[in-house]
Structure formats: structure tokens, C-alpha cells
Structure 1
Amino acid sequence: MPRPKKWRKVGFIPEIKFYGPLDCNTEDSIVTMSVEEVESIRLMDLEGLDQNECAQRMMIARSTFQRIYSEAKRKIADSIVNGKKLKIEGGNYTLNICRIICRNCGYEWKEKCEDIKNGIKCPHCGSQNNLICSEDEKNKVCRRCFRHRRGRL
């Protein structure tokens, strides 16, 4: 049984999910690109980060980032050169996977932020008010955390 894929952290989900030539009417010429492939293009080409920084932002290995980025460039080139439509959908991504620390009992766990709708509780002690999101061992608050930007914690 293969190991399950890790979630890739993305900071952007495009609103427009379909691109292509205006004079193409065939439905069979569609290239499908995943959300994490779009994120790799955004980080590398639009923000101008190097591969290590991009991989850290997406919480994946540099070699995994390189593979995702190469596949994204190949799909964009196929779409432009061969006049195919480009559709963005699917993938194995999350807006955030945060390391949550309970200040009451010190328990740590990882949580997908977009699945949390009615707040979260510590799975160890049940506390709901004394939770922080941390990126590193120094317990600094995660500045890129979707949860803090939306005022969830």
C-alpha cells in the first residue's frame, strides 16, 4: 500500500479556472492543471522566490517543488503552443496546515484550517480559548496563518 500524499500548502486559489484560445470549440483539447501547480508558478515566477523558499512556503521538499513546477510549465507550454484550453481544478492542497499548541496542557497537533467552521478544541484537554498557531519551536505566531488573518483564534 503506497504512502498517502502530503497536503501541499497554498496561499492562493484562482477565481478564474478556465483559460484558452477564443477560436477553439473542441472540448477534447483541454489541459488540466492542479491548484498546487498554479501555486508553484505564482511563487516562482510572479513573486520571484527561489526553489527553497517556495518549497518552505508550500511545506514540501525542494525536489517535490521542482517536480510540481516542471509539470506546471510543461502544461502551460502545451496549452499555448498547441492551442489547448487550460482548466485549473483538483490537487492535494490545503490553504493551511498549522501546528496548534494548547497553552493549557501543552498538547501539539496539526490541523487543516479550511475545515474548521465552528472553532476547534484541544483534543487532549478540550480547551477552546487558549490555543495558538506556531510555525517554529519558539512559539511565534504564524504570520501567514489563514486562521489569524480571519480572526479565528
Structure 2
Amino acid sequence: MPNQRRNRKIESPPSVEGFKPYGVRMKNLQKVILLFEEYEAIRLIDYEDLNQEEAAAKMDISRPTFTRVYKKARKAIAQALVEGKAILIEGGTYISENYWVRCGKCSKLGTAPAPIKNCPHCQSSEIKGIHQPK
């Protein structure tokens, strides 16, 4: 019987919801999904320059699990680049200590330890919740 899947700890959400090839309309593109935990693995290894042990500890998962998440993330990004697909960053099995919101007016991301009622950037009340801590 397999172990229960552990939530992967994510520090903060990506600043954008995804990427697309230049010059092609989104409606004409196939999409690749990059899960939040896969984005976090890429961020920790390739952006923060942590090794896999350190990154796994930050995400509160084992090093072998981290390796599988990281490999899947690289595969998705490579597929999008080679095949000219859009990358959407969404979903997954994760937890975060902060509330995440995206502003409907300025499109910027806000994070805070308590619920947010107004955008921290433009003060608009047109915000959409992305994640709330458990």
C-alpha cells in the first residue's frame, strides 16, 4: 500500500500565471501544466542555487521525492520550449503559510499571513484568492 502523498511546502507563488511563445495567440496554443510544487523545485534549484538536499528540506519532502518533482518540472518546460506550447502554472499538492491573491485591476500578486481585502499595490478591492493556508 503506497504512503499518503505529503503536501509540498511552497514559500510563495510565481509572479505570473504562465508563459507563452512570442507572437502566437493563446487560443491557438496547446498547453503544458507546471504544478506549483514543480515551479518551486525549479525556483529553489535553478534560481536560488540550492542543492537537492537543501531544496527538499525547504519543501518538507524527501530528497528522492524532490528529484522526481524537479525532473517532471524540467520535462514540462523542455516540452513547452521544443514543441512551442504555453506553460500554465497551477494546481498540485502543496501548502503555504500565507494567503495568495491576484489583483483583477493591476494583475499583481499579493501574499500575506492574514486574509487580504485590498491589493497591496493599487488598493483595488478586485482581488481573487489563489491560495489560503490550511
TM-score, normalisation: structure 1? 0.59
Aligned to 2:8: 8
Q: Give deviations 1:63-103, integer Å, cap 9, x for gaps.
A: 0000000000001111111110000000111114xxxxxxx
Give the whole-Å Cα distance in 2 for the aligned partners of 1:58 and 1:27.
Answer: 35
Aligned to 1:24: 24
Within 5 Å, give how 1:67-146 maps onto structure 2.
67-96=68-97
- C-alpha RMSD of the superposition: 2.0
Asked whether the 8 Å contact 2:29–2:86 carries over to 1, the reply is no
CA contact (8 A) 1:24 1:83 kept: no
2:15 counterpart letter in structure 1: E
| Distance in 2 of aligned mates of 1:61 and 1:67 | 10
Give the C-alpha shift of residue 22 in structure 1. Answer: 2.5
2: CA distance between counterparts of 1:71 and 1:28?
21
Any gaps of 5 or more consecutive residues in structure 2?
A: 100-111, 114-134
Counterpart amino acid of residue 21 in structure 1: P
Give the ranges of 4+ consecutive aligned residues of structure 1 lying more than 6 Å apart after TM superposition: none
* Structure 1: 5+ residue stretches without partners: 97-112, 115-145, 148-153
CA distance in 2, matches of 1:18, 1:66: 22
The alignment-based identity, stated in percent, is 37
Normalising by structure 2, we get a TM-score of 0.67
Count matched residues: 100
Query: 1:33, 1:88 within 8 Å by CA — same for their partners in 2?
Result: yes
- Report the 3-state secondary structure (helix = DSSP H, G, I; strand = E; otherwise coil) of the residue aligned with 1:42: helix
**Match of 1:72, SS?**
helix
What residue identity is the alignment partner of 1:44?
I
CA contact (8 A) 2:32 2:85 kept: yes
SS at match of 2:33: strand
Local SS of the residue matching 1:91: coil
Which structure 2 residues correspond to residues 36-51 of structure 1 after superposition, within 5 A?
36-51=37-52
The 5 Å alignment of 1:53-68 reads 53-68=54-69
Larger radius of gyration: 1
Measure how far apart 1:41 and its partner are.
0.3
Q: Give me the whole-angstrom Cα distance separating, in 2, the residues matched to 1:28 and 1:84.
A: 6
